């Protein structure tokens, strides 16, 4: 003790050459009381460094007393402190001195901020494990008792979380005392404490001897479950799960079930909600026999509860409940005792209940098997598919695959298709978007079934002409095409042009879809069905649709390949460069940049380049910008393809000069080719770099196309500044 | 994914819907029978024997009522604590504020002398200005709410300037017997600031509409204060220790010579004068479209509700980013709007019950157990209108301006323009008691309508044992009604009549021609002096009356002489 405060005791403590090593620590310590919260927080977070520098002795005698009184601080700082102290055992001298950490944590366990208290309790629990049994009884248990009999409820709530860690290691006499304290907290005056006790009841029950559970915990549980405050009662439901796991079937029936039954019929909907929410856990805890006997009727009541919240929570649990039933006789139970209630829920008045059900109901088909699904569940699915609430329909559609496995798509088809078409027309664009995102999945499911063709064809014909349904018809036609069965189906004319839909997000999703569809069904199909339709849109009076053409081309070009792109798409794109709307024009530039890699060099050089150059001189700034981007991309590509740099145009460029000298002997016509080889051999990258350099230095005269842009951009740039 | 939003949960799964449109079925509500819990027996206040305990006047300083300069707190010598409050100022300093006071004890009780240079002059200034009659009252100083905490040891007032002033009851001391029960300034802070809602082009006043104390959880006190839109949770703590000792500088902040620093020093906490710190803990904003008229803390100690004109929201005290709408009376078409919510309160013991009053004079009791949305009430308390009394003003004067549960939870007290009524929770058809507050105004409604006084929102209060009720009136009068003896009294809160330790004289307003001495005729009532906000100590017969910028604290003689 005496030497502890002196120099050199702790590692890093002041030695002869103190200043250098002391300084950072001194700053940290001083900042423990800095006015800036952030600095205090930093210091607290480095508390272990400070403690290490001070050494174990001074940490115990000086640092900890200071920290104990720091509870005036901001919650944020206290939280960090509580967390730090949980790992401090080593820094105060090991398990033998772990009790030194109790005072600061005790004061932290009484602050009014719940987060801080919880963290302090967590740290205390951690430290309790490091106590020796003797120290536990000498220091830790008294602390718990102090907290449990504290004046303010904050300390009593904190105590609730500490019983279960000290109980198993305490002697019998102390155990009795601990139980006594817990009992009194369970009947505390303030609801806060009763709530804390109720939430720790299950945990405490687990560490108790079985006899004590029966004789003490069960009465407490019964009391809490009939507390006058429903916020306490609902927490008792949670405890019920843990207690039920500990008891035998007979005891369960006698001790717990009456309370549970009562909770399931509680006046307060929040308690019933809790029962519904914990139903699977309860089911597992009480075992199959009681489930059949008690829980199923209770569940039926919850499914027809008057509060929508409760019904929704119960509906969520339908699948889990059914899955966890004993396999033997499961089907009959579901058919007779659950399904009738589910049928009612399908036409529930509350959409949240219906959509909760819709999200799990499909799971029942695997449990019930094909025949029952077709006979009983399918009508429900279909009813839900026609539900007025889009969320319900979506939940059904998104789970289609599990039904598909059981009964096959055929049964669903007739109702599925119209339902999807309807959804695609939904007034909410998010729903339409979701449908489009599901399209590839559905198409994938549908495509394997050739026998569906007839039916799809019929639908296509029926719906031909409806623009929004085009979306679906597109994929419908896909099947038709791949099966080469009904190529002339009327629907083909109205193929996948969902891009016509008015919201950009949808158009974007739809165009992406197009690409996937083309990849799936091949270029021939694309050329015959999609491309013409897309190209027709280029003349649409609505510029958004004209832009859609460009987006589609962006998406399709890669999948369609060079030939189709060059022959069919490129001319249209180039034509659109003269569009009067600037948005279309700069999208032309973007498209050209995008499809550039697919085109061959001749087309690039002869068709694309002039157009881009023209766009580069456009009066619109954005058009110019994107044209410039496209030009540099195209230029790069041209170089990579060994396209000749026109050296004659670049007398001032040294690189070009070199090229000049190294020009092959043959004059004139052959220049291009030879030069191309040269460029490829020598320095394609240098050439690019040179081009860039020239681009930035406009005074050096024309170099490739870039000077045009820089020159015209410069004034703009100045203006902007 | 567009999956149904499941009930948002508060930590432990207590699901409440946010904006469900639930079709509700009406349930026969199993209301618990409410027994009156045993209550500490109180000596019935002799209504005539009230004397002034303490009068406090708030006044902004200087000619700039809204100036926001340095913080001044001129305190009379009786305010050692107020001086400390000024010294320790973690929350935003309040606007320049002067708190002057007259104390029942007359002479200053033994306060700790503080050696301060400027104090004497300050004191003179206060006394001088206090003696003048203030006809001029700054709008910002008008007290807008008064609230005792659960023990009655603290009293908070809020004013139109967004300030909260907290008074603490002096502990009894042997050498100053008269100081017992006197309330001293404990802390002052700026709770709300004027704001501007740019989206709606609306000014949001800083006026404190309501203050509610939270049940005390540890040595610190907490309260909720609200203006029209934003509710704030404040923590009030005392600090009597201060860390001392730096490594790298001395206490004045001068850097030490580094070469002298040879060992590390851990700061040590040393006792110091008591400091009161107020710090904002949470801000509950954006929950209300309309003006918040009341807040109420639930008996479960973890939730509270806030009511505006059309909706009631339920908040968790620890969660600021969401609240649950439990009542919504907004019609689909605002043209169909016929009534608004005027006040609401939680039941004192049953965490699931709350009541709200409407501008049509009805009270609706709701049970949160029955359904997540309480648009359907469980009980409707409404008195059938007397057709003979119907007039143009019927609806306006029947609007309930305040509703308070009795401490026992058995009764509810409502105030409308002319009466206070006591309702039994078990009887919906009519109030069990009705008291006329100022029936003589019935003939003057027309002129009261013209000067807008008819829309004044008077509050009402129970005494600690639920046997006496109190409410305010005009001309700085306030009324008390003894429920057992059916006696009533009119008292006046005025500086002239409130000599320290002098018993208040009952006042009378005469209606007809017969006029007794000291009577006041109806026509000479001053309608600009109104007592809207009153509060009664939860256990003792101490009342706090807010009259414009004056806070009067009265105590009954019987009670004080027992001490």
**DSSP collapsed to 3 states, A297-358:** HHHHHHHCCCCHHHHHHHHHCHHHHHHHCCCCCHHHHHHHHHHHHHHHHHCCCCHHHHHHHH
Measured between CA atoms, the residue of chain A closest to residue B26 is A306
Label the pairing between strands B488-492 and B477-482.
antiparallel
pLDDT for residue A201: 92
Chain A residues close to B247, C-beta within 8 Å:
22, 26-27, 29-30
Residue B178 lies in a domain: yes
pLDDT band at B558 (very low <50, low <70, confident <90, very high): low
Chain A residues close to B369, C-beta within 8 Å:
230, 266-270
d(CA B12, CA B450): 53
In this predicted structure, the answer to whether residue B23 has a pLDDT above a threshold of 70 is no
Chain A residues close to B215, C-beta within 8 Å:
190
Residue B6 lies in a domain: no
d(CA A610, CA A574): 10
Residue B260 at interface with chain A, using a CB cutoff of 8 Å: no
DSSP letters, A237-292, are HHHHHHHHHHS-HHHIIIIIHHHHHHHHT-SSHHHHHHHHHTHHHHHHHHHHHHII
Of B217, B264, B277, the CB nearest to A13: B264
pLDDT for residue A597: 79
Question: In the structure encoding, which two tokens stand for residue B48, read together?
Answer: 């005539």
Nearest 5°: phi and psi at B470?
A: -140, 145
The dihedral region occupied by A403, where left means phi > 0, alpha psi between -120 and 50, and beta the remainder, is alpha
d(CA A192, CA A81): 24
Label the pairing between strands B509-510 and B520-521.
parallel
Are residues A192 and B301, on separate chains, in Cβ contact within 8 Å? yes
Chain A residues close to B324, C-beta within 8 Å:
none
Q: Among the residues of B415-501, which ranges form H helices?
A: 445-450
d(CA A119, CA A76): 11
Of A69, A110, A395, the CB nearest to B218: A110
Chain A residues close to B246, C-beta within 8 Å:
30, 33
Of B6, B30, B266, the CB nearest to A29: B266
Residue B1 at interface with chain A, using a CB cutoff of 8 Å: yes
Chain A nearest-CA distance from B354, in A, is: 14
Residue B436 at interface with chain A, using a CB cutoff of 8 Å: no
Work out how many CB contacts closer than 8 A connect A with B. Answer: 191
In this predicted structure, the answer to whether residue A639 has a pLDDT above a threshold of 80 is no
Chain A residues close to B263, C-beta within 8 Å:
5, 7, 13-14, 18, 22
Are residues A308 and B268, on separate chains, in Cβ contact within 8 Å? no
Of A30, A69, A430, the CB nearest to B246: A30
Strand partners, B231: B226, B284
Q: Among the residues of B38-108, which ranges form H helices?
A: 80-87
First to last CA, chain A: 71
Percent of chain A with pLDDT over 90: 14
Are residues B2 and A430, on separate chains, in Cβ contact within 8 Å? yes
Burial class (CB in 10 A: 0-12, 13-18, 19+), B527: middle
Are residues B371 and A316, on separate chains, in Cβ contact within 8 Å? no
Residue B273 lies in a domain: yes
Residue B182 lies in a domain: yes
Length of chain B as a residue count? 563
Strand partners, B544: B535, B553
Are residues A230 and B352, on separate chains, in Cβ contact within 8 Å? yes
Picking from B458, B468, B461, the residue whose alpha carbon sits closest to that of residue B489 is: B468
Percent of chain A with pLDDT over 70: 69
A84 and A92 Cβ atoms separated by less than 8 Å:
no
A705 vs B385, residue with greater confidence: B385
Q: pLDDT for B293-352, tens place per residue?
A: 999 999 988 899 999 999 999 999 989 988 999 999 999 998 999 999 999 999 999 889
> Strand order in B533-536's β-sheet?
B73-75, B97-103, B50-60, B550-556, B542-547, B533-536
> Chain-wide mean pLDDT for chain A?
73
pLDDT for residue A162: 93
Question: Which residues in chain B (146-185) have CB-CB distances under 8 A to chain A?
Answer: none
CA B512 vs CA B316, B468, B520, B521: distances in Å: 54, 28, 11, 9
DSSP-derived letter for residue B5 is: -
Instruction: Write out the H or E segment, with its range, that includes residue A548.
Output: helix A543-560
Are residues A309 and B300, on separate chains, in Cβ contact within 8 Å? no
Q: CA geometry: angle at B334 spanning B331 and B339, to 5°?
A: 65
In this predicted structure, the answer to whether residue A214 has a pLDDT above a threshold of 70 is yes
Question: In the structure encoding, which two tokens stand for residue A668, read together?
Answer: 């004139």
Are residues B3 and A391, on separate chains, in Cβ contact within 8 Å? yes
Least confident window among A426-435, A449-458, A611-620? A449-458
Chain B nearest-CA distance from A521, in A, is: 28
Residue B112 at interface with chain A, using a CB cutoff of 8 Å: no
A570 and A564 Cβ atoms separated by less than 8 Å:
no
Of A13, A154, A190, the CB nearest to B218: A154
- Within 10 angstroms of residue A139's Cβ, the number of other Cβ atoms is 18
Residue B216 at interface with chain A, using a CB cutoff of 8 Å: yes
pLDDT for residue B400: 95
CA B101 vs CA B81, B104, B540: distances in Å: 14, 10, 22
> Strand order in B323-328's β-sheet?
B294-297, B303-307, B311-316, B323-328
CA B175 vs CA A395, B110, B112: distances in Å: 77, 7, 13
Residue B276 lies in a domain: yes
Q: B449 in helix, strand or coil?
A: helix
pLDDT for residue A591: 85
Nearest 5°: phi and psi at A582?
A: -60, -35
Chain B residues close to A235, C-beta within 8 Å:
12
DSSP letters, A191-236, are HHHHHHHHHHHHHHHHHS-HHHIIIIIHHHHHHHHT-SSHHHHHHH
pLDDT for residue A695: 36
Least confident window among A429-438, A540-549, A609-618, B525-534? A429-438
Question: In the structure encoding, which two tokens stand for residue A595, read together?
Answer: 């499809």
Are residues B3 and A350, on separate chains, in Cβ contact within 8 Å? no
Buried b (16+ CB within 10 A) or exposed e, A267-292: bbbbbbbbbbbbbbbbbebbbeebbe
Chain A nearest-CA distance from B253, in A, is: 11
> Chain-wide mean pLDDT for chain B?
75
Query: CB-based contacts of A467: which residues, under 8 Å, 6+ apart?
Result: A497, A500
In the block, tokens 């008996």 appear at B299
Residue B3 at interface with chain A, using a CB cutoff of 8 Å: yes
Of A7, A66, A269, the CB nearest to B266: A66
Chain A nearest-CA distance from B269, in A, is: 7
Chain B residues close to A25, C-beta within 8 Å:
264
pLDDT band at A163 (very low <50, low <70, confident <90, very high): very high
Are residues B1 and A394, on separate chains, in Cβ contact within 8 Å? yes
Q: pLDDT for B427-478, tens place per residue?
A: 999 999 999 999 889 888 999 999 999 999 999 999 988 999 999 999 989 9
Q: pLDDT for B72-102, tens place per residue?
A: 222 222 223 333 333 333 344 445 555 655 5
Based on the structure, what is the number of domains in chain B?
1
Of A192, A309, A312, the CB nearest to B302: A192
Instruction: Write out the H or E segment, with its range, that includes residue B154.
Output: strand B154-159
Rounded to the nearest 10 degrees, the angle between the axes of helix A37-45 and helix A47-58 is 60
A560 vs A62, residue with greater confidence: A62
Chain B residues close to A49, C-beta within 8 Å:
none
Residue B94 lies in a domain: no
d(CA B429, CA B451): 34
Question: In the structure encoding, which two tokens stand for residue A400, read together?
Answer: 């289609």
Measured between CA atoms, the residue of chain A closest to residue B278 is A72
Residue B403 lies in a domain: no
Burial class (CB in 10 A: 0-12, 13-18, 19+), A567: exposed
ipTM higher than the 0.90 cut: no
DSSP letters, A462-493, are HHTT-TTTHHHHHHHHHHHHHTTS-TT-GGGG
DSSP-derived letter for residue B257 is: P
Question: In the structure encoding, which two tokens stand for residue B216, read together?
Answer: 């005390």
> How much is the average pLDDT of A505-511?
57
d(CA B313, CA A228): 23
Are residues B5 and A352, on separate chains, in Cβ contact within 8 Å? yes
Residue B319 at interface with chain A, using a CB cutoff of 8 Å: no
d(CA B348, CA B343): 15
A130 vs A458, residue with greater confidence: A130
d(CA B76, CA B123): 5
Picking from A62, A121, A56, A69, the residue whose alpha carbon sits closest to that of residue A95 is: A56
Measured between CA atoms, the residue of chain B closest to residue A396 is B3
Write out the residue range of the structural domain in which residue B277 sits.
138-239+269-286
pLDDT for residue A430: 66
Q: A90 in helix, strand or coil?
A: helix
B511 vs A447, residue with greater confidence: B511
Picking from A167, A234, A170, the residue whose alpha carbon sits closest to that of residue A205 is: A167
In this predicted structure, the answer to whether residue B193 has a pLDDT above a threshold of 70 is yes
Least confident window among A81-85, A145-149, A535-539, B196-200? A535-539
Residue B83 lies in a domain: no
d(CA A22, CA A102): 28
Q: What's B218's domain CATH number?
A: 2.130.10.10
Best residue of A12, A54, A156, A270 to probe chain B, by most B CBs closer than 10 Å: A270
Are residues A390 and B216, on separate chains, in Cβ contact within 8 Å? no
pTM (2 d.p.): 0.68
d(CA B312, CA B306): 6
Question: Which residues in chain B (331-390) have CB-CB distances under 8 A to chain A?
Answer: 349-352, 368-372
In this predicted structure, the answer to whether residue A312 has a pLDDT above a threshold of 70 is yes
Measured between CA atoms, the residue of chain B closest to residue A15 is B262
């Amino acid at each position: 003790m005496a030497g502890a405060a002196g120099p050199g005791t702790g590692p890093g403590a002041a030695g002869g050459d103190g200043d250098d090593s002391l300084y950072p620590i001194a700053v940290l310590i001083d900042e423990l009381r800095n006015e800036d919260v952030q600095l205090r927080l930093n210091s607290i977070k480095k508390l272990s460094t400070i403690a290490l520098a001070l050494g174990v002795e001074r940490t115990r005698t000086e640092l900890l007393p200071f920290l104990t009184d720091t509870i005036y601080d901001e919650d944020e700082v206290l939280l960090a402190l509580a967390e730090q102290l949980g790992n401090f055992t080593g820094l105060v001298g090991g398990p033998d001195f772990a009790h030194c950490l109790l005072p600061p944590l005790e004061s932290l366990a009484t602050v009014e901020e719940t987060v801080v208290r919880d963290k302090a309790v967590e740290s205390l629990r951690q430290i309790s494990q490091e106590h020796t049994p003797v120290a536990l009884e000498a220091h830790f248990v008294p602390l718990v008792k102090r907290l449990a009999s504290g004046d303010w409820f904050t300390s009593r709530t904190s105590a609730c979380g500490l019983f279960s860690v000290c109980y198993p290691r305490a002697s019998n006499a102390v155990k009795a005392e601990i139980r006594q304290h817990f009992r009194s907290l369970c009947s505390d005056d303030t609801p806060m404490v009763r709530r804390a006790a109720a939430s720790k009841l299950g945990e405490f029950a687990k560490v108790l001897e079985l006899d004590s559970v029966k004789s003490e915990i069960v009465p407490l549980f019964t009391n809490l479950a009939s507390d006058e405050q429903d916020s306490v009662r609902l927490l008792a439901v949670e405890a019920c799960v843990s207690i039920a796991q500990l008891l035998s079937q007979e005891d369960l029936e006698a001790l717990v079930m009456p309370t549970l039954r009562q909770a399931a019929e509680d006046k307060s909907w929040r308690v019933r909600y809790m029962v519904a929410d914990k139903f699977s856990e309860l089911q597992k805890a009480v075992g199959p026999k009681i489930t059949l006997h008690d829980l199923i009727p209770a569940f039926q009541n919850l499914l027809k509860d008057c509060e929508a919240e409760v019904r929704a929570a119960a509906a969520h649990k339908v699948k889990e409940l059914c899955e966890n039933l004993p396999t033997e006789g499961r089907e009959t139970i579901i058919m007779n005792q659950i399904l009738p209630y589910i049928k009612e829920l399908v036409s529930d008045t509350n959409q949240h209940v219906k959509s909760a059900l819709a999200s799990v109901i499909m799971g029942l088909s695997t449990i019930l098997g094909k025949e029952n699904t077709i006979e009983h569940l399918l009508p429900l699915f279909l009813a839900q598919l026609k539900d007025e609430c889009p969320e319900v329909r979506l939940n059904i559609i998104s789970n289609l695959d599990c039904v598909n496995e059981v009964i096959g798509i055929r049964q669903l088809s007739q109702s599925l298709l119209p339902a999807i078409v309807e959804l695609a027309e939904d007034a909410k664009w998010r729903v339409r978007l979701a449908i489009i995102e599901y399209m590839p999945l559905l198409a994938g499911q549908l495509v394997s079934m050739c026998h569906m063709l007839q039916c799809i064809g019929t639908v296509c014909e029926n719906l031909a002409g409806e623009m929004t349904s085009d979306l679906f018809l597109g994929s419908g036609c896909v099947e038709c095409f791949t099966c080469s069965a009904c190529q002339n189906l009327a629907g083909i004319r109205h193929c996948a042009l969902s891009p016509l839909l008015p919201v950009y997000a949808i158009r974007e999703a739809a165009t992406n879809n197009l690409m996937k569809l083309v990849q799936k069904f091949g270029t021939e199909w694309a050329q015959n069905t999609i491309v013409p339709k897309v190209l027709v849109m280029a003349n649409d009076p609505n510029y958004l649709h004209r832009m859609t053409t460009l987006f589609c081309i962006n998406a399709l070009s890669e999948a369609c390949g060079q030939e189709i792109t060059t022959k069919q798409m490129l001319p249209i794109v180039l034509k659109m460069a003269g569009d009067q709307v600037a948005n279309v024009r700069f999208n032309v530039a973007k498209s050209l940049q995008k499809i550039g890699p697919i085109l061959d060099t001749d087309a690039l050089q002869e068709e694309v380049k002039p157009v881009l150059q023209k766009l580069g001189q456009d009066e619109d700034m954005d058009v110019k910008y994107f044209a410039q981007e496209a030009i540099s991309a195209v230029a790069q590509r041209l170089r990579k393809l060994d396209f000749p740099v026109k050296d004659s145009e670049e007398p001032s460029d040294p690189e070009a000069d070199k090229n000049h000298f190294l020009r092959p002997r043959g004059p004139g016509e052959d220049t291009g080719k030879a030069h191309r080889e040269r460029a490829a051999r020598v320095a394609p990258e240098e050439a690019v770099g040179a081009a860039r350099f020239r681009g930035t230095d406009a005074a050096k005269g024309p170099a490739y196309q870039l000077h045009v842009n820089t020159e015209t951009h410069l004034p703009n740039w100045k203006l902007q500044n | 994914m567009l999956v149904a939003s499941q009930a948002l949960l508060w930590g432990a799964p207590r699901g409440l819907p946010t904006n469900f449109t639930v079709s509700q079925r009406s349930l026969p509500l199993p209301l618990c029978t409410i027994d009156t819990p045993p209550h500490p027996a109180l000596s019935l206040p002799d209504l005539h024997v009230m004397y002034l305990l303490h009068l406090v006047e708030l006044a902004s300083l200087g000619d700039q009522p809204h100036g926001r300069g340095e913080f001044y707190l001129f305190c009379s010598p009786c305010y050692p604590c107020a001086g400390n409050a000024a010294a320790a100022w973690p929350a935003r300093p309040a606007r320049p504020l002067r708190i002057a006071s007259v104390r029942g004890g007359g002479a200053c009780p033994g306060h700790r002398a503080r050696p301060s240079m400027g104090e004497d002059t300050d004191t003179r200034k206060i006394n001088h200005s206090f003696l003048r009659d203030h006809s001029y009252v700054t709008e910002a100083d008008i007290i807008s709410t008064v609230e005792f905490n659960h023990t009655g040891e603290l009293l908070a007032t809020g004013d139109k300037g967004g300030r909260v002033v907290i008074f603490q009851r002096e502990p009894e001391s042997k050498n100053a017997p008269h100081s017992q029960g006197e309330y001293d300034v404990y802390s002052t802070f700026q709770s709300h600031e004027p704001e501007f809602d740019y989206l709606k082009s609306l000014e949001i006043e800083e006026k404190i509409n309501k203050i509610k104390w939270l049940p005390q959880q540890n040595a610190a006190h907490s309260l909720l204060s609200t203006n029209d839109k934003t509710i704030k949770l404040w923590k009030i703590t005392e600090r009597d220790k201060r860390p001392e000792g730096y490594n790298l500088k001395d206490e004045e902040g001068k850097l030490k010579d580094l070469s002298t620093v040879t060992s590390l020093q851990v700061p040590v906490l040393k006792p110091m004068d008591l400091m009161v710190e107020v710090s904002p803990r949470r801000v509950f904003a954006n929950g209300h479209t309309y003006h918040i008229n009341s807040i109420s803390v639930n008996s479960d100690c973890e939730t509270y509700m806030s009511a505006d004109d059309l909706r009631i929201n339920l908040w968790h005290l620890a969660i600021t980013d969401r609240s649950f709408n439990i009542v919504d009376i907004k019609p689909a078409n605002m043209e169909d709007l016929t009534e608004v919510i005027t006040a609401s309160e939680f039941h004192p013991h049953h965490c699931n019950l709350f009541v709200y009053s409407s501008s049509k004079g009805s009270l609706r009791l709701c049970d949160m157990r029955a359904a997540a949305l309480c648009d359907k009430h469980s009980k409707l308390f409404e008195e059938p209108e007397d057709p003979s009394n119907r007039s143009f003003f019927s609806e306006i004067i029947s609007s309930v301006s305040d509703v308070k549960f009795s401490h026992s939870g058995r009764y509810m007290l409502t105030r409308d323009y002319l009466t206070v009524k006591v309702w039994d929770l078990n009887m919906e058809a009519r109030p069990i008691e009705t008291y006329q507050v100022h029936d003589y105004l019935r003939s003057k409604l027309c002129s009261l309508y013209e000067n807008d006084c008819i829309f004044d929102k008077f509050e009402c209060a129970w005494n600690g044992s639920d046997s006496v009720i109190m409410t305010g009136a005009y001309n700085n009068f306030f009324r008390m009604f003894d429920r057992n003896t059916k006696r009533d009294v009119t008292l006046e809160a005025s500086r002239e009549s409130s000599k320290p330790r002098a018993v208040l004289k009952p006042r009378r307003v005469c209606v007809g021609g017969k006029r007794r001495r000291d009577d006041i005729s109806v026509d000479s009532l001053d309608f600009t002096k109104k007592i809207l906000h009153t509060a009664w100590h939860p256990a003792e017969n101490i009342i706090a009356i807010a009259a414009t910028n004056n806070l009067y604290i009265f105590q009954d003689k019987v009670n004080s002489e027992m001490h």
